[in-house]
């Protein structure tokens, strides 16, 4: 083997480089198969909702650029900054986002990428995700005659909600508000005193107790932490309530947010924590997070994850391995009660009497759901029954085995949707943006499935 060292000592200079993107590039094929006009019609009402109501004033928003960046971001699962860098550096990304189609094309700044996405409501992002499924059916790479149903939990962007962590967090919120009020107003400093060092010391003492510590000693350490936090919370809440509207409005937005958390949640959480310390039982409806309200605790029997904190999503899978999602009207979204909504969404997307077979796990079983399936004229109903419920023999042994095995195939698809998006754990920090990130994860998954299908068909055409 010979060796060439040309360029080793040379410097690199900025130059124009001509890059040719092939016609069969996956993003070029995807861009030509997406229903851009339907997508535009879906997002237009959201774009017209501005703060002052006059969306015609100001610089024109080049929707084709921003919509292309939004779609590409869901496919690649990139942050806003990484998305900006990627579009600037990748010629295929630029063509997908409308270069050579839009006059005076430019790459949006990462702040504008976030601003455009924030203008889309969660419901709009859900409709976009489901639009990719109907588009797959139109392209012939999906078939809506078979439906498999399952649910999953999206973890919220929050820490594990132990009482020790929550009490320490409450103490830090008190300290933050106290420091801002001392700096902004001439308040009684004694009423605003928060001993952060004492709170942290007692919290660390509780966190690092030996594993063999008795329940009584743990309860005593937690009670000491509760006592160090409770008095400052009550004092500062009283001071905050006494402030006038003008004084509150003069504070920074983050201080006002902390004050709201303190006033609305501080004393109620202290009461719930005190009940747990005294009785070792959690109060029903106990707060799990100070910055999120749409969160519930569930147990799915996973070995590595006993408890999960977030919201549930109900998903349907059709032939072609595309997923659609129904509206999350509740954080829990119980399986048996969501079955009717999934069938209704299927009819809305694909039409009536299209569905020939449906399969679910045992959590969806109820006589009402079986009866509803028959009313919908579904020939093969694979709603699994628990062992103690007698099977009526509506299916043959072969059909039952086929439907049960087919339903199991939705599990890895949910795993792929979680891995390639924020359906596993969201990066967002508010209830609505977390919900939207779950919907957009389904959008990204369906787009990747579209790319995979068209590339597979392209390869098969080349073989033929």
**Per-position DSSP letters for 263-298, written without gaps between them:** HHHHHHHHHHHHHHHHHS-PPTT--S-SS--S-EEE
Q: Does the pLDDT at position 462 exceed 50? A: no
pLDDT digit string, tens, across residues 240-258: 898 888 888 989 999 999 9
Would strands 296-298 and 380-383 be described as parallel, antiparallel, or unpaired?
Answer: unpaired
Distance between CA 136 and CA 446 in Å, rounded? 9
Query: Which two tokens mark 79?
Result: 């942050």
Instruction: Please compute the mean of the pLDDT values over residues 296-309 and round it to a whole number.
Output: 80
Binning pLDDT at 50, 70 and 90, where does residue 163 land? very high
Q: Report percent pLDDT > 90 for the chain.
A: 70
pLDDT digit string, tens, across residues 42-51: 999 999 988 7
Q: What pLDDT is stored for residue 54 in this prediction?
A: 79
Q: What pLDDT is stored for residue 396 in this prediction?
A: 86
Distance between CA 403 and CA 412 in Å, rounded? 16
Q: What pLDDT is stored for residue 79 in this prediction?
A: 94
Q: What pLDDT is stored for residue 190 in this prediction?
A: 63
Q: Taking the complete model, does pTM exceed 0.85, yes or no?
A: yes
Average per-residue pLDDT for the chain: 90
Query: Which two tokens mark 124?
Result: 């709009």
> In this predicted model, which residue has the larger pLDDT, 151 or 187?
151
Q: What pLDDT is stored for residue 463 in this prediction?
A: 45
The structural domains of the chain, with segments of one domain joined by +, span 26-119, 142-158+295-463, 163-279
Smallest Cα–Cα separation from 122: which of 462, 436, 455, 451?
436
CA angle 82, 86, 88 (to 5 degrees): 120
Q: What pLDDT is stored for residue 458 in this prediction?
A: 66
What is the 8-class DSSP label of residue 425? B
> In this predicted model, which residue has the larger pLDDT, 304 or 232?
232
Q: What pLDDT is stored for residue 460 in this prediction?
A: 60
Could you tell me the CATH superfamily of domain 142-158+295-463? Ribonuclease H-like superfamily/Ribonuclease H (3.30.420.10)
Q: What pLDDT is stored for residue 150 in this prediction?
A: 95
Instruction: Please compute the mean of the pLDDT values over residues 181-210 and round it to a whole number.
Output: 84
Query: Which two tokens mark 117?
Result: 């996405």
Q: What pLDDT is stored for residue 282 in this prediction?
A: 85
Q: What pLDDT is stored for residue 68 in this prediction?
A: 96
Smallest Cα–Cα separation from 200: which of 176, 233, 230, 165?
165
Q: What pLDDT is stored for residue 187 in this prediction?
A: 60
Q: What pLDDT is stored for residue 155 in this prediction?
A: 92
Q: Does the pLDDT at position 110 exceed 60? A: yes
Q: What pLDDT is stored for residue 83 in this prediction?
A: 96
């Amino acid at each position: 083997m010979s060796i060439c060292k040309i360029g080793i000592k040379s410097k690199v200079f900025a130059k124009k480089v001509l890059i040719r993107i092939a016609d069969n590039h996956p993003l070029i094929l995807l861009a030509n198969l997406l229903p851009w006009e339907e997508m535009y019609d879906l997002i237009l009402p959201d774009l017209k909702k501005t703060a002052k109501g006059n969306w015609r004033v100001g610089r024109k928003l080049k929707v084709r650029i921003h919509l292309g960046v939004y779609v590409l971001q869901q496919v690649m699962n990139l942050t806003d900054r990484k998305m900006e860098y990627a579009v600037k550096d990748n010629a295929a990304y630029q063509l997908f986002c409308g270069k050579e189609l839009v006059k005076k094309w430019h790459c949006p700044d990462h702040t504008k990428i976030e601003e455009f996405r924030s203008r889309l409501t969660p419901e709009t992002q859900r409709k976009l995700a489901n639009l990719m499924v109907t588009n797959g059916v139109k392209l012939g790479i999906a078939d809506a005659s078979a439906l498999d149903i399952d649910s999953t939990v999206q973890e919220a962007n929050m820490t594990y909600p132990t009482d020790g962590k929550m009490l320490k967090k409450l103490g830090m919120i008190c300290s933050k508000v106290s420091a801002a009020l001392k700096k902004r107003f001439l308040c009684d400093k004694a009423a605003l005193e928060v001993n952060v060092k004492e709170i942290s010391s007692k919290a660390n003492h509780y966190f690092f107790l030996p594993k063999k510590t008795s329940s009584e000693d743990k309860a005593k350490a937690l009670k000491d932490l509760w006592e160090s936090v409770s008095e400052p919370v009550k004092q500062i809440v009283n001071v905050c309530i006494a402030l006038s509207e003008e004084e509150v409005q003069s504070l920074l937005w983050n201080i006002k947010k902390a004050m709201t958390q303190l006033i609305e949640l501080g004393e109620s959480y202290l009461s719930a924590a005190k009940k747990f310390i005294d009785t070792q039982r959690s109060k029903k409806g106990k707060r799990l997070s100070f910055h999120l309200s749409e969160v519930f605790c569930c147990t799915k029997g996973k070995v590595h994850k006993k408890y999960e904190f977030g919201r549930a999503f109900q998903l349907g899978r059709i032939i072609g391995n595309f997923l659609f999602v129904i509206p999350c009207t509740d954080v829990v979204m119980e399986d048996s009660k969501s079955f009717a909504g999934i069938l209704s969404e299927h009819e809305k997307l694909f039409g009536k009497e299209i569905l020939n077979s449906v399969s679910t796990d045992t959590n969806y079983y109820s006589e009402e759901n079986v009866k509803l399936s028959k009313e919908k004229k579904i020939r093969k109903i694979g709603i699994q029954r628990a062992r103690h419920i007698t099977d009526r023999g509506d299916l043959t042994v072969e059909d039952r085995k086929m439907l049960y095995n087919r339903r199991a195939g939705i599990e890895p698809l949910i795993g792929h949707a979680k891995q390639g998006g924020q359906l596993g754990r969201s990066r967002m920090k508010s209830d609505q943006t977390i919900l939207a990130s779950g919907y957009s994860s389904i959008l990204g998954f369906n787009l990747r499935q579209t790319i995979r299908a068209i590339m597979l068909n392209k390869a098969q055409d080349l073989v033929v």
